[in-house]
């Protein structure tokens, strides 16, 4: 953040019901600060969800199709952000552990100074077993984090 203004905002998207609400908060922040907006989906190996992640047991063709679907969905989010007045928007797909990619790897590569992230995605049982991505990001990110409660 420079002079109270964020320059690069990261919004990690998982395709959960929180996605539209989190996107609107990120768009509002990007417009307010005239910031670049990075829209990120982290595809975790061994996880398959509604077109937003990749399972390791899929064939190359199936994997390609899922990546293409994810790119299309992220492209729709990018278009919405641009139509809402955000001047600089990029979409990204990364592979790996979402906690590590969001809190450390991506922001190190792209120099984000704010992460806008939602609280949902996993069920309560899944959060107890693997831990909340949001909680990890809040504790470990090297930049400010805005949590959107959905």
CATH number at residue 132: 3.40.50.620
Q: Which residues of 69-94 are buried (b: 16+ CB within 10 A; e: fewer)?
A: ebeebbeebbebbeeeebeebebbbb
Report the DSSP beta bridge partners of residue 146.
Answer: 116
Q: Is residue 122 part of a domain?
A: yes
For 144: left if phi > 0, alpha if psi spans -120 to 50, otherwise beta; the answer is beta
Number of domains comprising the chain: 1
Q: Is residue 3 part of a domain?
A: no
Q: Is residue 133 part of a domain?
A: yes
107-129 pLDDT, tens digit per residue, is: 999 999 999 999 865 566 665 65
Q: Which of 6-10, 58-62, 63-67, 143-147 has the lowest mean pLDDT?
A: 58-62
Q: Give the mean model confidence (pLDDT) for residues 74-95.
A: 98
41-82 pLDDT, tens digit per residue, is: 998 765 544 455 544 566 778 778 888 999 999 999 999 999
Q: Is residue 2 part of a domain?
A: no
Owner of token pair 């908060």: 25
Q: Is residue 1 part of a domain?
A: no
Separation CA 125–CA 87 (nearest Å): 39
What is the pTM assigned to this prediction? Answer: 0.85
Q: Is residue 113 part of a domain?
A: yes
Q: Is residue 127 part of a domain?
A: yes
Helix axes 60-83, 19-33, angle to 10 degrees: 50
Domain that holds residue 102: 8-148
pLDDT greater than 50 at residue 34: yes
């Amino acid at each position: 953040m420079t002079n109270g203004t964020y320059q690069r905002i990261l919004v990690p998207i998982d395709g959960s019901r929180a996605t539209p609400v989190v996107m609107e908060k990120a768009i509002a922040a990007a417009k307010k600060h005239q910031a670049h907006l990075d829209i990120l989906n982290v595809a975790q190996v061994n996880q398959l969800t509604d077109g937003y992640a990749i399972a390791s047991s899929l064939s190359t063709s199936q994997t390609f199709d899922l990546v293409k679907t994810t790119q299309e969905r992220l492209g729709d989010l990018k278009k919405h952000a641009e139509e809402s007045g955000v001047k600089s928007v990029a979409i990204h797909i990364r592979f790996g552990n979402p906690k590590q990619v969001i809190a450390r790897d991506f922001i190190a590569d792209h120099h984000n100074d704010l992460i806008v992230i939602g609280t949902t995605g996993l069920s309560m049982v899944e959060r107890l077993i693997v831990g909340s991505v949001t909680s990890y990001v809040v504790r470990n990110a090297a930049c400010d984090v805005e949590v959107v409660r959905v």
